[in-house]
Structure 1
Amino acid sequence: MMPQLFTVLVRRPEHRPIRIWVPVLPVALVFSPLLVLAALVAVVACVIYRISVPLAFSSGWRFFCALSGTRVDVHEGRSTVLVSIR
């Protein structure tokens, strides 16, 4: 199942935490013209490097669907960024 929501939490010292929820499907629909262009570039790259186009796209889709449940924490100094994919 593809991820539905990206949650970003930014904690900074002496400031309130900032939490942002990003739904995946509406963002993908807004950026669909760029996604079509990126797909065309990927097809050209696959042809140049002699990679199977269906195999490359199916591997990319499987990787994207496997992102559900991923959590990334970044600590830099006293600031923290947490990205959660559901």
Structure 2
Amino acid sequence: MEALSREICGYSEIGYERNKASWLGALPEQDLAPDTVLRQLDQFETEARARGITYTTFRRLTEALGFNRTPRPQSRERGRPQAREQ
């Protein structure tokens, strides 16, 4: 399928994702300090809205903020609402 995509489209989405995963794994770990992350997130949101974007994925956010694969689960957990005790 990948070869067929390259033949028809001139590129492969699978190849693109493979290269991106390799690139993301090579990034140094980023500071997950809340002030830093929130400032970067505000900038991302402002720029995205200026382009008319109203939706993004968690993965795209981590890429835009320059996070490598290591802190993704940690940052995802930090973003989850806490269960309320009853």
**TM bucket normalised to smaller:** 0.3 to 0.5
Which structure carries more relative contact order (alpha carbon 8 Å, separation 6+)? Answer: 1
TM-score (norm 2): 0.32
TM-score (norm 1): 0.32
The structure with the greater share of residues assigned to helix is 2
